[in-house]
């Protein structure tokens, strides 16, 4: 009954209004407010501040600065195995495996369309049919910057409007096509292993998603928006393996897609495996 009520509330809550209000609070610079909020959050979620460049909780100008904090140099060493595909973020594997019949496995009894995930364009999705996916869930205590699994050249970025359901095991098991319904930013790269998609998926109280090349990506109008990055448009954006790609201001999920026969996920990884940015995700 408790689970059913939670899922029902997810459908009734005004997702965007609540998320934007919390986003405003997360930008508040009043010391009395932001220090209490940051202190409470760090204690509640047992955030390890020994890894942060700035360990003093009161030194952050607002909650978002704390939430997207940088880590000390060397805190996330990059796996140097030849041909390594790196994990893009701290968190836990939600699912990983093969894209079958054009669908990505979400949880028991649920999957979603890769075409819908990438914004509804079948030509954009075609290179990933029969390929492989990995879904990484970022919990509140995690480092919330997302990094490049491989070196790549940005080809296209697509903002896809949608809902902002909470992302956790309960919603994954009970909200059909969760990741293809939530607001998201799709980043398409050309890499040495062909096309690679990194999808940053928003969630309840995620105030915004940012990328290093475009900054804040929540348009004033929630409409599908595609931006090309080629010689004829804005010029290429090249990012090295392990370089920062973007960040969540309050976090959610990163999904990585490759084409057929381009990557083999690490044997020891499966659903609920804890992961850290920079570790070996596959080869």
Mean predicted confidence (pLDDT) in 247-271: 91
pLDDT band at 279 (very low <50, low <70, confident <90, very high): very high
d(CA 214, CA 148): 16
Reply yes or no on whether the pLDDT at 194 is more than 60.
yes
Closest CA to 199 of 276, 129, 133: 133
| Catalytically annotated residues | 90, 147, 252
Average pLDDT over residues 246-271: 91
By DSSP bridging, strand 237-239 and strand 194-201 are: unpaired
Q: Report CA Rg, the chain.
A: 18
Both structure tokens of 259: 């084409």
Average pLDDT over residues 136-152: 93
Full-model pTM: 0.89
Q: Given phi > 0 = left and psi -120 to 50 = alpha, else beta, which region is 177?
A: left
Q: Which residue has the tokens 């075609």?
A: 126
pLDDT at 258: 98
């Amino acid at each position: 009954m408790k689970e059913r009520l939670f899922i029902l509330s997810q459908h009734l809550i005004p997702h965007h209004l609540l998320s934007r209000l919390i986003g405003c609070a997360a930008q508040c610079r009043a010391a009395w407010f932001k220090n209490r909020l940051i202190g409470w959050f760090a204690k509640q979620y047992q955030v390890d501040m020994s890894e942060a460049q700035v360990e003093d909780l009161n030194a952050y100008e607002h909650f978002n600065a704390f939430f997207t904090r940088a880590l000390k140099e060397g805190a996330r060493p990059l796996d140097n195995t030849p041909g390594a595909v790196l994990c893009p973020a701290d968190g836990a594997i939600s699912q990983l495996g093969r894209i079958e019949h054009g669908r990505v496995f979400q949880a028991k009894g649920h999957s979603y369309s890769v075409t819908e995930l990438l914004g509804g364009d079948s030509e954009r999705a075609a290179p990933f049919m029969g390929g492989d996916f990995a879904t990484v869930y970022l919990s509140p205590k995690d480092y919330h910057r997302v990094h490049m699994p491989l070196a790549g050249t940005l080809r296209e970025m697509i903002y896809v409007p949608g809902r902002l359901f909470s992302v956790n095991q309960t919603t994954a098991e009970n909200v059909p096509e969760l990741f293809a319904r939530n607001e998201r930013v799709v980043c398409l790269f050309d890499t040495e292993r062909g096309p690679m998609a990194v999808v940053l998926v928003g969630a309840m109280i995620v105030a915004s998603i940012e990328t290093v090349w475009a900054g804040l990506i929540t348009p004033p109008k929630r409409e599908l928006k595609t931006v090309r990055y080629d010689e004829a448009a804005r010029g290429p954006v090249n990012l090295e393996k392990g370089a920062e790609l973007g960040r969540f201001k309050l976090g959610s999920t990163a999904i990585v897609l490759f084409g057929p026969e381009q990557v083999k996920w690490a044997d020891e990884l499966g659903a609920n495996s804890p992961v850290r940015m920079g570790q070996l995700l596959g080869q």
